[in-house]
């Protein structure tokens, strides 16, 4: 089988980029010939990247040329898709090139903003999706979002590498550290994590917070930490490469996901695989991965007091922490490659042989 895999690559490290790179490796280990088409390749020359408008054209033209050749050589296209301009500039053209070259396209849609995006752009998305062979999404949350707009999706979850993200030692041997493995962007609400830390330290004085990511919010977050008198208890790691993340998870007692919008965050799966109890906001696809009080503790987005209370419970109740840790291992095992591979390969086979459900539901425009 020859697969044209279309998606972003690190740097920067992020959910979709990491999943693209991991999928390439896993498919190749199965004997699949993978031709990767990178949608975020470096600008050439680099100075073009500083000019809005021109930089889009400078990236789009070589992308289309590479895409045309790769799709023509493939048996099936695996397209990593997202909302916004990424859809219009990279995903939609890939679907149309696949149609023109007679190669089936499997659209792998990701991202927590799908609801807002489809509310505005569903007509345009459906227009292109009529030319796709299949639509797959990582969670029941996104499947429900697409169903609202007359598009049927199969669930093929994200994959966690339990060979790399494996169990650490005894949680009680680790300092009372809290990790947020999200970039420093407004949608991930690192500010609530800092505010929660200030409340946690009233009951666990040695608790500290590790913010593992980069982004435009860094200066504001540092000022917030200083204003709450926890500046010395918040560590900003900057960019952390994927290979360094397992050790970082093993150095903390709680993994916190304070996101305001989410789909199927890899950071939650990775924490579960390592055996770090998770506190997360109850947003998007998160409740489809974990269950409150059984595999994680869930709170409402922006609910700082509830977030702090959940963290304190894990830091001060060893039995709860151990129960969540054991349940987390079992949950993470559901998202390993041996469990996901049959689902993905079945979609590929059905796409290549024009079998399986159409992308559009009954009642929507026909494919």
The 3-class SS string of the chain reads CEEEEEECCCCCCCHHHHHHHHHHHHHHHCCCEEEEEECCCCCCCHHHHHCCCHHHHHHHHHHHHHHHHHHHHCCEEEEEECCCHHHHHHHHHHHHHHHHHCCCEEEEECCCCHHHHHHHHHHHHHHHHCCCCEEEECCHHHHHHHHCCCECCEECCCCCCCCCCCCCCCHHHCCCEEEECCCCCHHHCHHHHHHHHHHHCCCCCCCEEEECCCCCCHHHHHHHHHHCCCHHHEEECCCCCHHHHHHHHHCCCEEEECCCCCCCCHHHHHHHHHCCCEEEECCCCHHHHCCECCCEEEECCCCHHHHHHHHHHHHHCHHHHHHHHHHHHHHHHCCCHHHHHHHHHHHHHHHHCCCCCCCECECECCC
Cβ burial, residue 289 (10 Å; 0-12/13-18/19+): buried
Task: Give me the CATH topology for the region 171-333.
Answer: Rossmann fold (3.40.50)
Q: Which two tokens stand for residue 325?
A: 């840790």
**Rg for the chain (alpha carbons), in Å?**
21
Q: Is the pLDDT of residue 53 over 80?
A: no
Rounded Cα distance between 198 and 42, Å, is 40
Q: Tell me the per-residue pLDDT of 115-157, one tens digit each, with 9 for 90 and over.
A: 999 999 999 999 999 999 999 999 999 999 999 999 999 999 9
Task: Give me the CATH topology for the region 2-159+336-352.
Answer: Rossmann fold (3.40.50)
Percent of the chain with pLDDT over 70: 93
pLDDT at 248: 96
Strand pairing class (234-236; 208-211): parallel
Q: Inter-axis angle of helices 114-129 and 140-147, to 10 degrees?
A: 60
Q: Which two tokens stand for residue 221?
A: 């977050």
What is this structure's pTM? Answer: 0.90
Please identify which residue in the block is written with the tokens 């089988």: 1
Rounded Cα distance between 168 and 246, Å, is 9
C-alpha distances (whole Å) from 35 to each of 11, 42, 244 are 19, 18, 27
In this structure, the number of other CB atoms found within 10 A of the CB of residue 312 comes to 20
Q: Tell me the per-residue pLDDT of 32-44, one tens digit each, with 9 for 90 and over.
A: 999 999 998 776 6
Which residues in the chain are classed under CATH 3.40.50.2000?
A: 2-159+336-352, 171-333
Q: Tell me the per-residue pLDDT of 245-303, one tens digit each, with 9 for 90 and over.
A: 999 999 999 999 999 999 899 999 999 999 999 999 999 999 999 999 999 999 999 99
Q: Tell me the per-residue pLDDT of 311-336, one tens digit each, with 9 for 90 and over.
A: 999 999 999 999 999 999 999 999 99
Q: Is the pLDDT of residue 103 over 80?
A: yes
C-alpha distances (whole Å) from 157 to each of 8, 72, 225, 264 are 18, 28, 36, 8
In this structure, the number of other CB atoms found within 10 A of the CB of residue 51 comes to 12
**Using 50, 70 and 90 to split pLDDT, how confident is the model at 366?**
very low
**Using 50, 70 and 90 to split pLDDT, how confident is the model at 45?**
low
């Amino acid at each position: 089988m020859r697969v044209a895999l279309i998606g972003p690559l690190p740097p920067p490290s992020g959910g979709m980029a990491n999943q693209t790179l991991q999928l390439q490796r896993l498919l190749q280990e199965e004997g699949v010939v993978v031709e990767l088409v990178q949608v975020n390749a470096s600008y050439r020359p680099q100075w073009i990247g500083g000019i809005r408008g021109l930089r889009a054209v400078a990236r789009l033209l070589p992308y289309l040329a590479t895409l045309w050749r790769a799709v023509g050589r493939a048996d099936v296209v695996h397209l990593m898709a997202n909302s916004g301009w990424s859809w219009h500039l990279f995903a939609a053209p890939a679907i149309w090139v696949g149609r023109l070259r007679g190669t089936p396209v499997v659209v792998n849609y990701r991202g927590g903003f799908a609801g807002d995006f489809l509310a505005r752009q569903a007509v345009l998305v459906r227009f292109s999706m009529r030319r796709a062979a299949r639509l797959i999404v990582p969670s029941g949350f996104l499947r429900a979002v697409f169903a609202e707009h007359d598009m049927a999706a199969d669930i093929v979850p994200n994959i966690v590498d339990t060979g790399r993200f494996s169990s650490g030692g005894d949680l009680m041997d680790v300092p009372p550290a809290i990790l947020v493995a999200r970039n420093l962007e407004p949608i991930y609400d690192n500010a609530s994590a800092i505010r929660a830390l200030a409340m946690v330290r009233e009951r666990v004085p040695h608790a500290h917070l590790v913010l593992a990511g980069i982004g435009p919010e860094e200066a504001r977050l540092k000022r917030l930490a200083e204003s709450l008198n926890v500046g010395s208890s918040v560590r900003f790691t900057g960019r952390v490469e994927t290979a360094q993340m397992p050790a970082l998870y093993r150095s903390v007692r709680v993994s916190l996901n304070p996101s305001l919008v989410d789909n199927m965050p890899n950071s939650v799966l990775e924490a579960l695989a390592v055996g770090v109890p998770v506190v997360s906001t109850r947003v998007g696809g998160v409740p489809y991965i974990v269950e409150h009080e059984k595999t994680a503790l869930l709170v409402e987005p922006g609910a700082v007091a509830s977030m702090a209370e959940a963290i304190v419970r894990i830091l001060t109740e060893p039995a709860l922490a151990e129960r969540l840790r054991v349940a987390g291992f079992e949950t993470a095992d559901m998202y390993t490659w041996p469990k996901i591979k049959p689902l993905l390969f079945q979609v590929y086979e059905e796409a290549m042989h024009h079998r399986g459900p159409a992308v559009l539901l009954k009642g929507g425009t026909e494919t």
